Structure 1
Amino acid sequence: MAITETKTKYGQVHGVQKDGYTVFRGVPYAKPPVGEKRFCPPEEPACWEGVYKADHFGCVCPQTEHEPDSFYGKEFYLDPEFGMNQSEDCLYLNIWTPANAADEKLPVAFWIHGGAFMHGFSHESEFDGAAYCERGVILVTINYRLGAFGFLAHPWLSEESGVGRSGNYAILDQIAALKWVKENIAAFGGDPENITVFGQSAGCMSVQTLVSSPLTENWISKAIFQSAGGYDTGLNRDMPLSEAETIGQEFVELTGAKTLEELRAIPAEKIVELQEEFGRVNPSRMLSFVPNIDNHLLTCGYNDAVTEGKIKDIPYMLGSTADDIGVFPEMKEKGEHGGIYKGCINWSLALEKLGRKPAYVYYFTRALLGDDAGAFHSSELWYMFGTLGRSWRPKTEGDYALSKEMMDDWTNFMKTGNPNAEGKDDWKPCTKDDPYVQVLDVRK
């Protein structure tokens, strides 16, 4: 029986029934972080009366939009159907649940979008849960705060907090959303004991942060890192709170605000403009709004969390693309791999050294048709979400077959912790004796 209306901890919610699934769009998982709540940790949402109509996607965090003729603008943001209304009131999630969800406790896939912690949103054209529902998996996608809204640390804010820390609001948003799912997903047919957290690029860095944090307790049963996570990748940045506060002071000086009250009164669109100016004036600050080590969310650096065994002891799957960040033509000509590729293998070997199960590692090498960008950073998203039909690019039967294969791999892992179908063992774990990497490409 299809679930079109159900009761959450906060009230009744009604979704939109589709062919084979129901989608609940724009469900609030925290109070709007506006006014005095700007630059504060998220707060539990208020209960509502009556039925909440979850029939449209929520607003997205204020951000600079990609130009239509830019590479990623053309790739993912051209379709007006997936446009975005911007607002600081952006803490919403979406749930796609199969028609038969009421009869089962289904695995849950919790997706965190990328975008350099500055861009992106939960309902981009490449994201959709229909293919996951076909395979008996519930998909949840979330919005979270970005840029300064999500990461600004400052001595004013650390003092105001009463606990001597600030920043990390974006990751705390993600944790609030994960807690919401843990507490409410059973009402949508999901198994709160089987939640796979996965993400790509900055979303992947977020996932690695979540599995490295004590704040997520035992809420994560599996994790997938796509194009940013691993051990010693060269991408993750261990930023002490003190450094984050220094960056925050520089940013606040640029705003001209003399008090917290003045800072919170600056219009959101002006904050976005100032973020862009901040990076232009000082290129070293271009990507400076990131998680900080505050001895609360994070107690140590990313690599140390691995070597000290502070990461979650759960199944992992992780990988990169052939033309990912940090991969250059001269490297490929020599047969060399980038830091993310190596970092994925390093992660699995580190797990093995800790006496844990090694990870499943992949390498997406399909050079997408339509230009010479190859298997670029983010190119796998169309395939593992089953949304190739929304892409402007030419496709072959092989592309659709690869997409089906990847969706099966991803959802098999979400169900069992193993990407192989039952009775198969083609995709082997990556071990010291056999550092196996599954190549994902069209069949020749």
Structure 2
Amino acid sequence: MKIYPNRIQIKFRMVKISHLLMTLFLFATASMQAQNPVLSVTGGKLQGVASAAPGINVYKGIPYATPPVGVLRWRRPQPVKPWKGIKIADHFGNISWQSGQQHGSFYWKEFYQNGQDPMSEDCLYLNVWAPAATAGKPDAKLPVAFWVHGGGYINGYGHEITMDGDAWAMRGVILVTINYRLGLLGFLAHPALSAESADGTSGNYGTYDQIMALRWVHDNIAQFGGDPDNITVMGQSAGAASVKNLVISPMSRRLIRRCIIQSGGGMGKFIEPDGDNKIVDERGRLLMEKHGYTTIGQLRAARPEELLKIAAWGVASPHTDGVALPENFDSAVKQGHVADIDYMIGCTVDDIVPMNKAVDAFCYARDSIHTHNIYQYLFARKLPGSTDGAFHSAELWYMFHTLNRCWRPFTSADYRLADEIMDYWTNFCKNGNPNGEGRETWHAFTRQNPFVMTLNVK
């Protein structure tokens, strides 16, 4: 029998290489699992995916309530139903039924010309962007930003083209965005619906969705490395009006550490219907009967596409119901029934309506009775590429640092402004003070020094 030493050596080397490759594979797998562990949240096991930014995980389409379909249409959100196995959160959830922007309109061109995601009544989902290094580490206690989108309570969703959490998470702040019910499906008040309710009220379903989502975040964000005791609620336009509701609602205000109100006014009314429950119920009844819906059975059997055809402006928005919203925002501020926390508030130079006086009024009122700081801003950058100026919603490209998704010819100065705004916003979320090293000092607003930070390119 002949022995071939070279063959034995080669075989031995191949075995060693195979073992080395297996070791490297197992090491890489363990490293990936450490950076993206399976989390235990309300509902079941959850795992995210790597985001486009290095070191960031994104968890898309997390259900925070049972789908409000069938008999749950026009009912307050119910706790999420448990799922089996590990849910891989790799795609965004459905968005609420909405008419969207008219093709060719200004806002269509600005934000929606790439289309929008599938619509469904099954729309109660949220998204989380967090550093991979903090996943599964409750002791990390990172600050959390809870974003409520705008859209007049009839349009919008939590993953619009402007909205992304990578830049937030890279600055050490976990970002959460949510979807909630919109339009008639989210806010219809009606005598028949009130009769079904234990407390005799109806409407505000979208507001209850927001409260449910905030509670889910408070209960689960530690799994992502977040601090449930350091949540900043923030929103723009109808989203800002929503966070004004959240900081006055007895169902949510104690869950909030800070608040950012963008282009949502201040004191004074802002996209909310007048009247008590009976008046709002009657308004809903008359509207639906006008379109042939006279019974609760007909209402629940209606196709969402048909409901979208009904012009609902002035009906499809939150109202003071005595439960989630016991009083309006002005009354709550004056009576001290608003969360006593740090606030940031402002608007754009060319906003949808002049807001300076309303914002000033809120700042003066808070200065009179607060124990925390309030910071006011004015976004003044007139966006390049058109003569539309610093229009309503213009700051969103900057505060999410998503300028590269926009058709406009942004300059290096715009990117520097986006960095500045992101630093101010995330610093505020961290400690209630927007200031940080290398940035212009932003003074708190007081009667003695009514300081307003102007945000513009330099």
| TM-score, normalised by the number of residues in structure 1 | 0.92
Which residue matches 2:81? Answer: 46
Alignment of 1:266-415 (within 5 A): 266-274=302-310, 276=311, 286-326=313-353, 338=354, 340-415=355-430
Which residue matches 2:41? Answer: 8
Which residue matches 1:421? Answer: 436
| CA contact 1:41–1:172 (8 Å) conserved in 2 | yes
Q: Could you tell me how far apart the structure 1 residues matched to 2:67 and 2:44 are?
A: 17
Q: Could you tell me how far apart the structure 1 residues matched to 2:290 and 2:269 are?
A: 32
Give yes or no for the alignment of 1:167 onto 2:203.
Answer: yes
Question: Shift of residue 9 of structure 1?
Answer: 2.4
Q: Deviations over 1:198-222 (max 9, x none)?
A: 0000000000001011111411110
Give the count of matched residue pairs: 420
Matched residue type, 1:348: C
Which residue matches 2:184? Answer: 148
Aligned pair partner of 2:122 in 89, 93, 111: 89
Q: Could you tell me how far apart the structure 2 residues matched to 1:229 and 1:98 are?
A: 33
Q: Which moved more, 1:411-420 or 1:101-110?
A: 101-110
SS in 1 for 2:221: helix
Aligned pair partner of 1:66 in 92, 101, 107: 101
Tell me: CA distance 1:256–1:237, structure 2 relative to 1, closer, same or farther (3 Å).
Answer: closer
Aligned pair partner of 1:202 in 217, 238, 245: 238
Question: Shift of residue 423 of structure 1?
Answer: 9.2
| CA contact 2:40–2:223 (8 Å) conserved in 1 | yes
Structure 1, unpaired ranges of 5+? 279-285, 327-337
Question: Shift of residue 430 of structure 1?
Answer: 0.8
| CA contact 2:267–2:361 (8 Å) conserved in 1 | yes
Q: Could you tell me how far apart the structure 2 residues matched to 1:127 and 1:247 are?
A: 35
Q: Could you tell me how far apart the structure 1 residues matched to 2:82 and 2:384 are?
A: 48
| CA contact 2:264–2:270 (8 Å) conserved in 1 | no
Which residue matches 1:21? Answer: 56
Q: Deviations over 1:281-323 (max 9, x none)?
A: xxxxx33311111111111122111100110000000100000
Q: Deviations over 1:182-202 (max 9, x none)?
A: 111111111111110000000
Q: Could you tell me how far apart the structure 2 residues matched to 1:440 and 1:422 are?
A: 17
Which residue matches 1:190? Answer: 226
Q: Could you tell me how far apart the structure 2 residues matched to 1:372 and 1:233 are?
A: 29
Q: Could you tell me how far apart the structure 2 residues matched to 1:352 and 1:419 are?
A: 18
**RMSD (Å), alpha carbons:** 1.6
Matched residue type, 1:290: S
Matched residue type, 2:303: P
Q: Could you tell me how far apart the structure 1 residues matched to 2:421 and 2:281 are?
A: 41
Question: Shift of residue 235 of structure 1?
Answer: 5.4
SS in 2 for 1:215: coil
Which residue matches 1:213? Answer: 249
Question: Shift of residue 237 of structure 1?
Answer: 5.0
Tell me: CA distance 1:416–1:238, structure 2 relative to 1, closer, same or farther (3 Å).
Answer: farther
Tell me: CA distance 1:41–1:14, structure 2 relative to 1, closer, same or farther (3 Å).
Answer: same
The percentage of counterpart residues that share the same residue type is 46
Structure 2, unpaired ranges of 5+? 1-33
Q: Could you tell me how far apart the structure 1 residues matched to 2:126 and 2:358 are?
A: 31
Q: Could you tell me how far apart the structure 2 residues matched to 1:217 and 1:379 are?
A: 28
Give yes or no for the alignment of 1:105 onto 2:141.
Answer: yes
Question: Shift of residue 238 of structure 1?
Answer: 4.8
| CA contact 1:123–1:141 (8 Å) conserved in 2 | yes
SS in 2 for 1:214: coil
Q: Could you tell me how far apart the structure 1 residues matched to 2:39 and 2:60 are?
A: 13
Which residue matches 2:456? Answer: 441
Matched residue type, 1:190: G
Q: Could you tell me how far apart the structure 2 residues matched to 1:311 and 1:48 are?
A: 37
Tell me: CA distance 1:302–1:238, structure 2 relative to 1, closer, same or farther (3 Å).
Answer: farther
Q: Deviations over 1:311-358 (max 9, x none)?
A: 0000000100000022xxxxxxxxxxx2x2222222121111114334
| CA contact 2:149–2:236 (8 Å) conserved in 1 | yes
Q: Which moved more, 1:389-398 or 1:64-73?
A: 64-73
Aligned pair partner of 1:430 in 412, 433, 445: 445
Matched residue type, 1:257: Y
Matched residue type, 1:7: S
Q: Could you tell me how far apart the structure 2 residues matched to 1:442 and 1:360 are?
A: 20
| CA contact 2:272–2:317 (8 Å) conserved in 1 | no
Q: Could you tell me how far apart the structure 2 residues matched to 1:312 and 1:425 are?
A: 28
| CA contact 2:247–2:253 (8 Å) conserved in 1 | no
| CA contact 1:366–1:440 (8 Å) conserved in 2 | yes
Question: Shift of residue 242 of structure 1?
Answer: 2.1
Q: Which moved more, 1:236-245 or 1:385-394?
A: 236-245
| CA contact 1:4–1:17 (8 Å) conserved in 2 | no
Question: Shift of residue 4 of structure 1?
Answer: 4.6
Q: Which moved more, 1:355-364 or 1:190-199?
A: 355-364
Matched residue type, 2:88: K
Q: Could you tell me how far apart the structure 2 residues matched to 1:24 and 1:240 are?
A: 40
Tell me: CA distance 1:271–1:314, structure 2 relative to 1, closer, same or farther (3 Å).
Answer: same
Question: Shift of residue 3 of structure 1?
Answer: 3.3
Matched residue type, 1:232: G
SS in 2 for 1:159: helix
Matched residue type, 1:403: A
Which residue matches 1:331? Answer: none
Question: Shift of residue 65 of structure 1?
Answer: 2.0
| TM-score, normalised by the number of residues in structure 2 | 0.89
| CA contact 2:193–2:202 (8 Å) conserved in 1 | yes
